[in-house]
Amino acid sequence: MTAAARPSHQKSRSVKWAAWKLTSQDSFALVMTARKGIPAATAFEVAEAYHWPASQLEAVYDLSTKTLRSYSQENKPLSATASEKTLKIIALYQLGVEVFGEAAAFLRWLDKPAHGLDQEVPLRLLETSGGIDLVEEELTRIAYGDLS
C-alpha cells in the first residue's frame, strides 16, 4: 500500500468504527451490542489496524485464522465474549490514537514495556478483557500526565 493511499484507508476505518465508539463509551450498551454479536470480519479489521500477524490474531481471539475466515465468509457473528473484546480493542485503538496523536505512535507504545504496567508489553495484555482494561487505564493515566 502506498503512503498516499494509507491516510484514506485510515480515514475510512475511523469512519467505519465511529458507530462502535459511541457504543464503547457506555458499558451497558457495549454489553448489549456484544450479546448480539458483531461481524467476524471486524476481527480482521482490528488485526489490520493493529498490524497483527496471524499468530497475534489467533492469541487474542483464541480461534484459528481459518475459523475466523470461515465465520467471516458465512457472515457469522463473533461470540458475545469475542464481540465484547473486539469492541473494547476498537475503543482502545481510538483512545490510543487520541492520546498519542497518531496510530503509528500508539502502535509503537503498545509494543514496548510500559512502566505503569510493571514493564509488561501492553500488546501482550490484549488477550484478556481484564488486560485490555489495564492498558486502557494506563492510556488514561498518560493522557492526564500521570506517568508514575
Q: What is the pLDDT of residues 105-142, one digit of tens each?
A: 999 999 999 999 999 999 999 999 999 999 999 999 99
Give residue 96's Cα distance to chain centre: 10
Contact 97, 103 (CB under 8 A): yes
How sure is the predictor about 20, in pLDDT bands with cuts at 50, 70 and 90? low
Global confidence as pTM: 0.82
Identify the pLDDT of residue 16. Answer: 59
The chain-wide mean pLDDT, for the chain, equals 84
**Which pLDDT tens digit goes with each residue over 46-57?**
999 999 999 999
Concatenated DSSP letters for 42-54? HHHHHHHHHT--H
Concatenated DSSP letters for 54-65? HHHHHHHHTS-H
Give percent of the chain with pLDDT exceeding 70.
82
Identify the pLDDT of residue 8. Answer: 36
Backbone angles phi, psi at 72, to 5 degrees: -65, -45
Contact 17, 94 (CB under 8 A): yes
Identify the pLDDT of residue 33. Answer: 86
